[in-house]
Chain A
Amino acid sequence: MSAPCGLFFTSYAQESALFPSRFLKASMALFFVALVVLPPWMNSYHVSVLCLINIAVIGAVSLNLLTGSCGQISLGHGAFVGVGAYTAGVLAAKGVPFLLALPASGLLAALAGMLFGLPSLRLKGIYLAISTLAAQLILEYVFLHWESVTGGSNGLAVMPPEIFGYAFDNDLKMFYLTLAAASLCALGAANVLRSRLGRAFVSIRDHYLSAEIVGVSLFGYKLRAFGLSSFLAGVSGALWAHYTMFLSPEQFGIGLSISYLAMIIIGGMGRVAGAVYGAVFITVLPEALNALSASAEAWMPGMTSNLMALKGGVFGLALILFLLFEPEGLAHRWRLIKAYWKLYPFAH
């Protein structure tokens, strides 16, 4: 007899599997193979957009762990990314091997995140958002004024990473490096969500009082959420530092924090896939608009600059439309589309 139709779980382990169906496993494997095989045939612009997506995926996954899964709003995520970036830059300048500097960047960012996460015991919601905004401002100030370490307003030059003498000095090589890091981070975050730790995060997000009553140490788990999330943010920052080869305080402003928040809202809060969809959407949107305005030039000469100036508005509009019509994000929409085809032609 063939396998049961659709998803039919008979054990808890089955239900919490990362890829519950064989079809999903096969399609994910195919997707990954395509990701590995296709880039050498792409031009360096498209590969560089893929690199930026990989780096954004790590940042978005990390914020999703904290905000989407544990319910701790953070407006300081851009600065935690910055801590990782500057750590990587400084360690690289001191000759620390990349394979050591990468986790070290994560660890220092985790320390910073936990330090600024301390008020989370007393603060919730909008109050916590303001406290993390303070973290953003303080860290930005440090990046700008700790000149002997960060280079201050002159910035800091960083070289491409090297692993055992192999330099990742072009887009394609950086793509594979960032893809490996993004895949590990996404898988790691997905596994955290399936573990005791992840369940504690979700219980705090859903109802902190009930969580405490069933024995979840609020402070301990909130701090762990800040630490883990900032660790991944630091890794994302380290990769950004090596990819752009230059750091300046402006790169880690409040705009970056907001853009990560937009990623998880548009992608879908609390789900790793959501963070990935959001990172792809936010990274590709300006590129798509640029391509659109460039092609519009052919039939509307002189309109390019006007169309391009609308970009900021389009970004805001996309965010509002998602909040209104798809508050659960692209991940939810994707589930609905899958369900539609699974049930087709029967709606119920």
Chain B
Amino acid sequence: MHSTLKRLLLAAALAALSCAPALAQEYVIGSLQDLSGPTADVGKPYGDGIRDGARYINESGMLGQAKVKLIAVDYAYNAQQALAAYKKFTSQDKILALQGWGTQDTEALTQFVARDKVPCISASYSAHLTEGSKAPYNFFVAADYSTQIRGALKYFKDNWKEQRAPKLALVYPNHPYGLAPIPAAKDYAKELGFELVGEENVDLKAMDATAQLLRLQKAAPDFVWIGGTTQSTAVVLKDAQKMGFKTRFFTNIWGSDENLPPLAGSAADGVVSLQTAVSYGQDVPGMKAIEKLTGGQPQMTHYIRAFASMLVMAEAIKLAQAKGPVTGETLKAALESLRDYSPLGLTPPISYFPEDHRPNMSVMLYTFENGKMKLLATQTLERKKEWLGK
């Protein structure tokens, strides 16, 4: 009798123990952030967005009883530190998925995440990461750099009123990030009937761009693409203003943001910033949640994109959860089954396919007016097969 009672108690204890983790299911997400390296100016708001996204998922009960546990590591935009952090994530923290950051870590880890089956959503938007066959576990929530520039060119061409061909010039740094969308830009500009009148290199750390702009001024371009970061864009814009440029400047996702007006002053007015998320204060459902989490403190568009990135990851976890145990493989399959998922309206709807990890073909064109970002248009392109990975 006594031993039966003991056995019963033991069985009950074992049952309770085995149930306990199921009740308090926790999905560990690793986050690589640059808080002390060369991209910390945008890395910090992006990291805040990731952290607040995790808070929102847990507080809103988006995953039911389950929670996400975020483990952030500052890798200072260094491939070696990213690798070490990733090893810590996979061996010690047993992460389910990774929220990556820039080119250095995302590209250095592409083969590792594929081998270890760890889905990675990052903020490095190079087109070659969108090919499911080459980077099967890499995802991102923004249109890739090439799609962004193609979208802007399409918008400018559609709104071009003059009879002659619009003249385009490209200004970018001699840097992997700067060079990434250039072949796509040249090809598509030619296809649309732009005349490429100049190409100049301005370094990311440039203090002056007069020499390059003098050459461009002679070519009198109608549109000038700036493919740098906010600081180098500000240098180009201020020099162009001094020289009396009459042209429309447009920049990619890291080339201008809410920091541009304080850096470039009135030279920022009229510049078109290509983004893939709403700006703070826009009327979409997700903004209410963000305003609540941040106490009404304005956040950069990078923060909002990071927040959306966490929502996309959580939605995929939810889909995978419904089908059974969530693993890296099932999470990847769930991500690839997303169709027109809107992360509370914060970005254009997102769909991934097994061979095609382009989240969408939409770019949002913002323009600066009196120091504020104002939505000009959202341009959506056709999901062409020949553009995949290029």
Tell me which of A22-30, A152-160, A180-188 binds B: A152-160
Contact of B126 (CB < 8 Å), options: A154, A171, A308? A154
Q: Is B5 part of the binding interface, using a Cβ–Cβ cutoff of 8 Å?
A: no
- Complex CA–CA separation, A311 to B128 (angstroms): 32
Q: Which residue of B lies closest to A289 (CB)?
A: B74
Q: Which of B44-73 contact A (CB under 8 A)?
A: 44, 47-48, 51, 71-73
Beta-carbon contact of A305 and B44 below 8 Å: yes
Q: Is A119 part of the binding interface, using a Cβ–Cβ cutoff of 8 Å?
A: no
Q: Is B11 part of the binding interface, using a Cβ–Cβ cutoff of 8 Å?
A: no
Q: Given A245-B111, A248-B107, A153–B91 Cβ distance below 8 Å?
A: no
Q: Which of A211-258 contact B (CB under 8 A)?
A: 244-246, 248-251, 255
Q: Is B263 part of the binding interface, using a Cβ–Cβ cutoff of 8 Å?
A: no
Report the minimal beta-carbon distance from B341 to chain A, rounded to whole angstroms.
Answer: 28
Tell me which of A1-9, A43-51, A62-70, A128-136 binds B: A43-51
Interface of B is mostly: helix
Q: Is B180 part of the binding interface, using a Cβ–Cβ cutoff of 8 Å?
A: yes
Query: Which residues of the other chain, A, contact B383 by a CB distance below 8 angstroms?
Result: none
- Complex CA–CA separation, A245 to B135 (angstroms): 13
Q: Which residue of A lies closest to B112 (CB)?
A: A245
Query: Which residues of the other chain, A, contact B104 by a CB distance below 8 angstroms?
Result: 248, 250-251
Q: Given A45-B91, A290-B73, A312–B111 Cβ distance below 8 Å?
A: no
Contact of B108 (CB < 8 Å), options: A152, A246, A294? A246
Query: Which residues of the other chain, A, contact B107 by a CB distance below 8 angstroms?
Result: 155, 246, 248
Query: Which residues of the other chain, A, contact B78 by a CB distance below 8 angstroms?
Result: 255, 286
Query: Which residues of the other chain, A, contact B92 by a CB distance below 8 angstroms?
Result: 43, 45
- Complex CA–CA separation, A155 to B104 (angstroms): 11
Q: Is A334 part of the binding interface, using a Cβ–Cβ cutoff of 8 Å?
A: no
Q: Which of B94-125 contact A (CB under 8 A)?
A: 103-104, 107-112
Beta-carbon contact of A248 and B103 below 8 Å: yes
Q: Is B22 part of the binding interface, using a Cβ–Cβ cutoff of 8 Å?
A: no
The count of chain B contact residues (Cβ–Cβ below 8 Å) is 43
Q: Which residue of A lies closest to B176 (CB)?
A: A153
Give the total number of A-B pairs whose CB atoms are below 8 A apart. Answer: 112
Q: Is A141 part of the binding interface, using a Cβ–Cβ cutoff of 8 Å?
A: yes
Contact of A153 (CB < 8 Å), options: B35, B81, B177? B177
**Cβ proximity bits B170-189 to A, threshold 8 Å, 1 near / 0 not:** 00001111011000000000
Query: Which residues of the other chain, A, contact B179 by a CB distance below 8 angstroms?
Result: 144, 152-153
Q: Which residue of A lies closest to B48 (CB)?
A: A305
Closest 6 CB pairs of A and B: A308-B74, A153-B176, A48-B87, A44-B91, A312-B36, A245-B111
**Besides A48-B87, A294-B71, A304-B72, 18 new A-B residue pairs in contact (Cβ under 8 A), listed by A number:** A44-B90, A45-B90, A47-B87, A48-B84, A141-B174, A144-B174, A152-B176, A153-B176, A153-B180, A154-B128, A155-B107, A246-B108, A249-B176, A250-B79, A283-B80, A309-B44, A309-B74, A311-B36
Interface residues of B (CB under 8 A from A): 33, 35-37, 40, 44, 47-48, 51, 71-76, 78-81, 83-85, 87-88, 90-92, 103-104, 107-112, 126, 128, 174-177, 179-180
